[in-house]
């Protein structure tokens, strides 16, 4: 019987010809990522307690993105511990304030097709956009990886999501994710791998594909994976082709979900959970105080481009603030070199440093009681972006921008 | 491994943002433990008692990979978490922290304050107050070993000590627990 992409990568990493869902296997890890919150501040003391060394420092990535730039002395100290750990333990792939931990490894070309990747952050599913099997884990689990280079995994069932047709103007990859989330719920793929395919996926630019695998975790999935194509290989300068993994024609899927990109409309998630999904038009007129363009999900270069397109020649609604925290320094530089950044600023938006920021309830732009925000981020559980009684709508960057212009939740097609 | 205690009951989709709010991420593990469940029940830390058993609804622990969600509950005194099913990162984090987690499809029958007796090895939850027994998924032996060791850190300590011992690791322990396949565990549920 044929294998899915996830099964093939797990089989290779565990030294087997084949695996079946439900099997528990020990896998060799190709790449391990931690950030300043989940990383050295916790792992350093534990490694010392064990008297252990990192199995292979060349396979470790450390990104400082949660507590930078520092807001207080605690954050200063966390950044210092992280920096010292990288230096003392010979980790060269160390990036401070250069961008978010799910974006930087993609920009640097660290993640390659066919890899088994683990990351100590739930959105580590993002790396699956390169055709890697990328699993989010906790920090103590990462300690085991750091010491042994291995992790035990239960081979997941795979659900395949096929998107036919192409998105129409006004829709983005975020709407594709919300569509499936609304259909299967935020626990609809718990313990499973998601494998994406179809014209609707491969017609997306790479930046947009990131949204699909980034939010695989929002369905409860263990991994989200897009088998690579020419777009992927181009990004890697032609590399990665030899290790690329594709599903067998007779691969067995737990479930096949078929959706049509050409019929999609702009969507939002009502406050409370990412699967409270409705058309943006159904929430028309809901008042907002803040728009937030940020996070690994929603502040990549094409996101800022889409925002600029809506904001060009317009200004923010009175009393509404729009905060923009680019996903990386590289994104910020590109936006500054084109007219994207100047357009966004001309409309009245506020530029924030790159980093996780208010998406994780940190940094600038957290919300107060009763405040309402529409956000291009990935999660809106109560308290996520600050106060427990703040309300967060999730939407695509273009829908966030349109809503910031009108001051109420707005279907972006009204402004295109 | 038997645990007896009082049930504290919560609903579906309790997220890590509620179990351990993001604003406490920069605190130490012990400090963050004082704020367990604050995002859903600000009175939790004042009413929780050592050995209490937390009963959640579906998809308990959904959201981020922050391990403080699991460690905060352990530090608060929670002996085990029982839910129909868990978000998978929380499930693994709990095991790695030495916090027992039981997947119990009928956990919704348990009421606030019920006295429970939980057999982690047998996969049984006895509700002594209401007088019924619920089946829970049994953890495979190598996962149970992690829980019984008190988490992955004490487990790794043992393993490294065995490897460093002059006589070498004991037979069968050289690479940690045997794989699930070797133990015939393929049908057991582990995320």
Q: How far apart are CA A289 and CA A371, in angstroms?
A: 6
Of A245, A260, A275, the residue that ends a domain is A260
In a domain, residue A416? The reply is no
Whether A327 has a pLDDT exceeding 60, the answer reads: yes
Residues A203 and A335 both lie in one domain: no
**Sequential pLDDT tens for chain B (191 residues):** 789 999 999 999 999 999 999 989 999 999 999 999 999 999 999 999 999 999 999 999 999 999 999 999 999 999 999 999 999 999 999 999 999 999 999 999 999 999 999 999 999 999 999 999 999 999 888 888 889 999 999 988 988 888 888 765 444 444 444 333 333 333 344 55
Q: Token pair 């959105």 is at which residue?
A: A123
**Which of A66, A120, A144 is opposite residue B152, by nearest beta carbon?**
A144
Whether A270 has a pLDDT exceeding 50, the answer reads: yes
Mean pLDDT of A17-44: 96
What is the 3 state secondary structure string of A311-380? HCCCCCCCCCEEEECCCEHHHHHHHHHCCHHHHHHHCCCEECCCCCHHHHCCCCCCECCCCEEEECCCCC
Q: How confident is the model at residue A56 (pLDDT cuts 50, 70, 90)?
A: very high
B140, B188 in Cβ contact below 8 A? Answer: yes
Question: Would you call A137 and B185 a contact, using CB atoms and an 8 Å cutoff?
Answer: no
Residues A201 and A341 both lie in one domain: no
Q: Is B75 helix (H, G, I), strand (E, B) or coil?
A: helix
**Do the bridges between strand B80-83 and strand B53-55 make them parallel or antiparallel, or are there none, so unpaired?**
parallel
Query: Quick check: B3 contacting A, CB < 8 Å?
Result: no
Identify all chain A residues contacting B58, using CB atoms and an 8 Å cutoff.
187
In a domain, residue A124? The reply is yes
Identify all chain B residues contacting A379, using CB atoms and an 8 Å cutoff.
15, 17, 63-64
User: Which residues in chain A (112-141) have CB-CB distances under 8 A to chain B?
Assistant: 120-122, 124, 136-141
Q: Which residue of B lies nearest to A38 if distances are taken between CA atoms? A: B66
What would the pLDDT profile of A329-362 be if each residue is shown by its tens digit? Answer: 999 999 999 999 999 999 999 999 999 999 999 9
Whether A111 has a pLDDT exceeding 60, the answer reads: yes
When divided into structural domains, chain A yields a total of: 2
Residues A250 and A271 both lie in one domain: no
In a domain, residue A51? The reply is yes
Whether A233 has a pLDDT exceeding 50, the answer reads: yes
Q: Is A225 helix (H, G, I), strand (E, B) or coil?
A: strand
Q: How far apart are CA B161 and CA B113, in angstroms?
A: 42
Of A260, A285, A315, the residue that ends a domain is A260
In a domain, residue A77? The reply is yes
Packed helices A139-148 and B152-164: angle between N→C axes, nearest 10 degrees: 20
B78 to chain A, closest Cα gap in Å:
19
> What is the pLDDT of chain A when averaged over all its residues?
97
Q: How far apart are CA A217 and CA A223, in angstroms?
A: 7
Residues A252 and A287 both lie in one domain: no
Burial of A319 per CB tally in 10 Å (0-12, 13-18, 19+)? exposed
Question: Would you call B65 and A26 a contact, using CB atoms and an 8 Å cutoff?
Answer: no
Compute the count of residue pairs across chains A and B with CB atoms less than 8 Å apart.
Answer: 158
Per-domain boundaries in chain B: 2-138, 140-191
What pLDDT was estimated at residue B183?
37
Packed helices A301-311 and A397-406: angle between N→C axes, nearest 10 degrees: 30
Burial of A323 per CB tally in 10 Å (0-12, 13-18, 19+)? buried
Q: Is B22 helix (H, G, I), strand (E, B) or coil?
A: helix
A179, A163 in Cβ contact below 8 A? Answer: no
Residues A290 and A250 both lie in one domain: no
Mean pLDDT of A239-266: 98
In a domain, residue A198? The reply is yes
**Which of B15, B58, B190 is opposite residue A381, by nearest beta carbon?**
B15
What pLDDT was estimated at residue B164?
84
Of A203, A235, A260, the residue that ends a domain is A260
In a domain, residue A147? The reply is yes
Q: How many Cα neighbours within 13 Å face the side chain of A271?
A: 19
Number of neighbouring beta carbons within 10 Å of residue A169 = 8
CATH number of the domain bearing residue A352:
3.30.499.10
Chain A interface disruption, residue of B10, B22, B57, B95, most A CBs within 10 A: B22
What pLDDT was estimated at residue B167?
64
The CATH architecture of the domain made up of B2-138 is Alpha-Beta Barrel (3.20)
Residues A194 and A310 both lie in one domain: no
Packed helices A206-214 and A301-311: angle between N→C axes, nearest 10 degrees: 110
Q: Which of A20-24, A63-67, B128-132 has the lowest mean pLDDT?
A: A20-24
Q: Which domain holds residue A11?
A: 5-260
Query: Quick check: A35 contacting B, CB < 8 Å?
Result: no
Residues A161 and A305 both lie in one domain: no
Helix (H) or strand (E) holding B6: strand B2-9
Residues A283 and A233 both lie in one domain: no
Q: Which residue of A lies nearest to B183 if distances are taken between CA atoms? A: A24
Residues A291 and A404 both lie in one domain: yes
Whether A44 has a pLDDT exceeding 90, the answer reads: yes
Express as a percent the part of chain A with pLDDT over 90: 99
């Amino acid at each position: 019987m044929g294998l899915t992409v996830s099964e093939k990568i797990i089989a290779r990493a565990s030294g087997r010809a084949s695996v079946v869902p439900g099997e528990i296997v020990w896998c060799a890890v190709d790449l391990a990522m931690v950030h300043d919150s989940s990383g050295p501040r916790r792992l350093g003391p534990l490694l010392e307690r064990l008297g252990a060394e990192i199995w292979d420092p060349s396979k470790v990535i450390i990104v400082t993105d949660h507590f930078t730039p520092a807001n207080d002395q605690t954050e200063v100290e966390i950044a210092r511990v992280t920096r010292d750990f990288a230096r003392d333990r010979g980790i060269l792939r160390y990036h401070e304030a250069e961008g978010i931990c799910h974006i930087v490894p993609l920009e640097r070309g660290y993640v390659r097709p066919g890899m088994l990747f683990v990351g100590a952050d739930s959105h580590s599913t993002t790396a699956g956009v390169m055709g890697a099997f990328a699993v989010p884990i906790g920090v103590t689990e990462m300690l085991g990886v750091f010491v042994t280079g291995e992790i035990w995994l239960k081979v997941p069932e795979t659900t395949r999501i096929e998107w036919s047709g192409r998105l129409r103007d006004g829709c983005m990859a975020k709407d594709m994710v919300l569509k499936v989330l609304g259909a299967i719920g935020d626990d609809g793929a718990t313990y499973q791998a998601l494998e994406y395919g179809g014209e609707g996926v491969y017609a997306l630019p790479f930046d947009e594909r990131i949204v699909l695998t980034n939010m695989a975790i929002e369905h409860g999935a263990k991994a989200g994976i897009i088998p690579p194509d020419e777009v992927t290989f181009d990004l890697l300068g032609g590399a990665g082709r030899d290790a690329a993994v594709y599903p067998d024609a007779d691969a067995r899927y737990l479930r096949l979900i078929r959706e049509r990109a050409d019929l999609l409309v702009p969507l939002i998630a009502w406050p409370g959970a990412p699967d409270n999904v409705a058309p943006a038009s159904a929430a028309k007129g809901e008042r907002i105080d803040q728009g937030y363009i940020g996070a690994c999900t929603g502040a990549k270069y094409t996101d800022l481009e889409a925002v600029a397109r809506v904001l060009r020649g317009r200004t923010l609604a009175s009393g509404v603030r729009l905060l923009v925290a680019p996903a990386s320094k590289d994104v910020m530089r590109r936006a500054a070199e084109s007219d994207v950044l100047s357009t966004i600023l001309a409309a009245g938006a506020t530029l924030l440093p790159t980093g996780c920021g208010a998406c994780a309830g940190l940094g600038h732009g957290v919300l107060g009681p009763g405040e309402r925000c529409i956000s291009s981020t990935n999660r809106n559980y109560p308290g996520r972006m600050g106060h427990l009684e703040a309300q967060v709508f999730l939407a695509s960057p273009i829908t966030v921008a349109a809503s910031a212009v009108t001051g109420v939740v707005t279907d972006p097609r009204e402004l295109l | 491994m038997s645990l007896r205690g009082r049930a504290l009951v919560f609903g579906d989709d309790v997220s890590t943002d509620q179990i351990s709010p993001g604003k406490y991420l920069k605190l130490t593990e012990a400090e963050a433990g004082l704020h367990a469940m604050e995002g859903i029940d600000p009175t939790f830390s004042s009413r929780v008692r050592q050995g209490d058993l937390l009963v959640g609804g579906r998809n308990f622990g959904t959201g981020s990979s922050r391990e403080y969600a699991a460690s905060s509950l352990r530090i608060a005194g929670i002996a085990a978490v029982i839910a129909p099913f868990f978000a998978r990162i929380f499930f693994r984090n709990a095991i790695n922290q030495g916090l027992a987690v039981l997947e119990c499809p009928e956990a919704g029958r348990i009421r606030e304050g019920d006295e429970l007796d939980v057999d982690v090895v047998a996969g049984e939850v006895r509700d002594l107050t209401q007088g019924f027994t619920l089946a829970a998924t049994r953890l495979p032996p190598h996962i149970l070993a992690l829980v019984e060791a008190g988490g992955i850190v004490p487990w790794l300590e043992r393993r490294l000590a065995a490897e460093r011992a002059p006589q070498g690791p004991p037979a069968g322990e050289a690479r940690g627990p045997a794989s699930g396949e070797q133990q015939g565990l393929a049908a057991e549920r582990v995320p």
